[in-house]
């Protein structure tokens, strides 16, 4: 922490005394401050865990690109004056490129700490576009137009505002879904907020515009030097991403803001703004992707609920409800050659009582896996309840084939937790008849199974037909 305090003290002095320097020399203290995060970022790269350094590399690259422009600006300011320095193409390009790299670093942090929070990233970009549009239309564009700033410089400034606002949105998303605050993330958020203030003050032509710009770099250095920097890209919990009414309202408002601003300018007789139009067009596919992802998430949730309602949680087989539904569907197609086998495990209760419920569960899973492995594509094996399984099949000789499959099950020892056990199976077979309901055919198979139980024996299949 002493290293952090020393760094903060030295750079703060340069920032506070910035306006005291002669105008033609002000570029050099600013360049010293903007260069200051580079050693801190290199140190941060050494301290970061392997596999988590991408964000720091991007921050380093963004800082280097920014400083290329800062060095050119400082030289032009010393030689040719403020107007030439501000209009230099290299300076404007470096501002845009550096902002893009730092945005990418923030998105890497979001992906790591938010566990691939794509929905949150899209929300951040949509919010940034909408809010940047308001800020641009109401504050920045009128000020820059009044000052006679050329269109290309206006466009460059808008890109900077958009990138910085998107970065801030991404970092806020990380902070809001985190289990606790991480100081390095807060420093990065402060850096982005200072950068946004710098863009605004520069567009307004304020003399102190470069001071928040310098503060942004100081905050980056603090983020790299703070002990919590190792947590910057630590995996966090997965945030909930549901298709709520509030989310839809939010997306609708953000999508409508920019066109409303453009229309308002036209109604008031103000010049139309092509930059706003471009940002509006760019938001439409983002909103469509976001809604599509939400819809997909909702559909997956519905499918999961359906699986829970129709599947046995222990074995993964269809449950009683799914079995009855399938029998009804098969009866509706016709009873010809439709057979139901009602199976009950012999010797299961002693295993459960002697070895415990965990062993009993393991035995049920082993039986389910064996039965499932011998099914044809159109057959169904379900766990009807307890140690009862029901098989639904169709075709000549299908029931004999199923009994043979069950015989291979009982002819060998099965693994039940840490022990090997032997069981038998009692099978009641019922063939569907015209006019049958699912209760009819299941009832006959159940009665036949109880008849078969009179001859039950461990290691064998006892069979009775209704």
The pLDDT assigned to 361 comes to 92
Q: What is the DSSP string of 422-456?
A: --EEEEEEEE--TT--HHHHHHHHHHHHHHHHTT-
Q: CA distances (Å), 416 to each of 6, 242, 360, 427, in order?
A: 65, 41, 7, 22
Q: How far apart are CA 147 and CA 32, in angstroms?
A: 29
234 contact partners, CB below 8 Å, separation of at least 6? 52, 112, 113
Q: CA distances (Å), 273 to each of 132, 161, 260, 342, in order?
A: 14, 16, 12, 74
Q: How far apart are CA 163 and CA 98, in angstroms?
A: 10
State whether CATH 3.30.70.270 applies to domain 320-465. Answer: yes
Q: Measured over all CA atoms, what is the biggest interatomic distance in the chain, rounded to whole angstroms?
A: 106
The pLDDT assigned to 50 comes to 82
- Any idea what the Cα angle at residue 65 is, between residues 62 and 71, rounded to 5°? 135
The pLDDT assigned to 282 comes to 67
Domain boundaries, the chain: 2-305, 320-465
The pLDDT assigned to 380 comes to 92
Q: How far apart are CA 273 and CA 277, in angstroms?
A: 7
Reading the block at residue 266, the tokens are 């036209």
The pLDDT assigned to 205 comes to 73
The C-alpha torsion from 55 through 57 and 60 to 61, rounded to 10°, is -110
Q: What is the DSSP string of 58-108?
A: HHHHHHHHHHHHHHHHHHHHHHT-HHHHHH-HHHHHHHHHHHHHHHHHHHH
Question: Is the Cβ–Cβ distance between 25 and 78 less than 8 Å?
Answer: yes
Task: Give the chain's residues under pLDDT 50.
Answer: none
Q: How far apart are CA 72 and CA 356, in angstroms?
A: 77
The pLDDT tens digits for 309-365 are: 889 999 999 999 999 999 999 999 998 989 999 999 999 989 888 888 899 999 999
The pLDDT tens digits for 152-176 are: 777 777 777 877 787 787 777 777 7
């Amino acid at each position: 922490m002493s290293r952090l305090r020393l760094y903060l003290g030295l750079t703060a002095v340069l920032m506070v005394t910035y306006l005291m320097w002669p105008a033609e020399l002000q570029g050099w203290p600013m360049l010293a401050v903007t260069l200051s995060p580079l050693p801190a970022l290199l140190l941060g790269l050494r301290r970061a865990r392997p596999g988590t350094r991408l964000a720091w590399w991007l921050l380093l690259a963004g800082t280097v690109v920014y400083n290329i422009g800062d060095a050119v600006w400082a030289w032009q300011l010393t030689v040719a004056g403020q107007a030439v320095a501000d209009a230099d193409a290299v300076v404007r390009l470096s501002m845009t490129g550096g902002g893009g790299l730092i945005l990418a670093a923030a998105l890497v942090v979001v992906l790591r700490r938010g566990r691939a929070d794509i929905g949150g990233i899209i929300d951040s970009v949509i919010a940034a576009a909408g809010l940047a549009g308001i800020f641009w239309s109401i504050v920045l564009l009128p000020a820059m137009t009044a000052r006679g700033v050329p269109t290309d410089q206006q466009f460059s400034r808008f890109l900077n505002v958009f990138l910085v606002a998107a970065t801030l949105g991404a970092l806020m998303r990380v902070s809001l879904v985190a289990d606790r605050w991480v100081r390095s993330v807060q420093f990065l958020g402060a850096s982005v907020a200072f950068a946004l203030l710098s863009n605004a003050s520069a567009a307004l032509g304020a003399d102190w515009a470069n001071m928040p710009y310098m503060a942004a770099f100081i905050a980056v250095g603090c983020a790299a030097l703070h002990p919590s920097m190792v947590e910057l890209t630590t995996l966090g919990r997965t945030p909930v991403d549901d298709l709520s009414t509030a989310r839809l309202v939010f997306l609708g408002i953000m999508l409508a803001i920019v066109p409303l601003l453009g229309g308002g300018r036209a109604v008031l007789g103000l010049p139309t703004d092509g930059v706003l139009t471009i940002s509006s067009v760019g938001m439409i596919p983002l909103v469509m992707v976001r809604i599509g992802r939400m819809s997909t998430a909702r559909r997956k949730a519905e499918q999961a609920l359906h699986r829970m309602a129709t599947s046995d949680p222990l074995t993964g087989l269809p449950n009683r409800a799914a079995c009855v539904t399938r029998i009804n569907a098969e009866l509706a197609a016709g009873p010809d050659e439709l057979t139901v086998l009602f199976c009950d495990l012999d010797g299961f209760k002693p295993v459960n009582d002697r070895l415990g419920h965990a062993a009993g569960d393991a035995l049920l899973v082993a039986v389910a896996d064996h039965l499932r492995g011998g099914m044809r594509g159109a057959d169904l094996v379900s766990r009807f309840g307890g140690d009862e399984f029901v098989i639904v099949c169709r075709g000549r000789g299908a029931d004999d084939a199923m009994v043979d499959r069950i015989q291979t099950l009982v002819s060998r020892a099965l693994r039940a937790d840490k022990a090997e056990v032997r069981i038998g199976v009692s099978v009641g077979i019922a063939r569907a008849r015209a006019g049958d309901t699912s209760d009819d055919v299941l009832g006959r198979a159940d009665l036949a199974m109880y008849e078969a139980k009179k001859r039950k024996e461990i290691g064998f299949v006892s069979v009775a037909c209704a």
